Amino acid sequence: MNGAPSKITYHSADKTLELGYADGSAVALPAELLRVYSPSAEVRGHNAGERKMQTGKKHVSITNIEAVGNYAIKITFDDGHDTGIYAWEYLNELGTNQDRFWADYEAELDAANASRLPAIPVGTWTPRKT
């Protein structure tokens, strides 16, 4: 798993982006992980201290994928985020270190008493009457 993938497939049912490589290897990256670790300045900031924690992204989906030259893809998510350019090297890092990225993400949420689940805006949910 190195360099540019030879095949990119989005599986909408399980919300994963599969990257297939010429050597026969493949990696599946969940849309949620791609969204919370977007390489955009909006998420990452301009240095490590500016990173903005992403919450409520458990059900996020990918709506569009565009090639960016021969070095990256641009992913658009259904929450409107579309400013991250995912270089092949960065996607390889996410795939290779996926367990660590998940653990860091969950630890960050726990420390902030935040959730992967989206918040339900007040006034949009009505309890069922039984």
More confident of the two residues 123 and 26: 26
pLDDT score of 130: 67
Q: Which domains does the chain have, with CATH numbers?
A: 7-111 (3.30.2020.30)
| Under 8 Å between Cβ of 94 and 37 | yes
pLDDT score of 125: 63
More confident of the two residues 41 and 22: 22
pLDDT score of 123: 66
- In the predicted model, what is the mean pLDDT of residues 14-28? 95
Closest by CA to 74, choosing from 64, 63, 60, 85, is: 85
Q: Look at residue 113 and tell me whether its pLDDT is greater than 70.
A: yes
pLDDT score of 129: 75
Is the full-model pTM beyond 0.75?
Answer: yes
Helix, strand and coil percent figures for the chain, each rounded to 5: 30, 25, 50
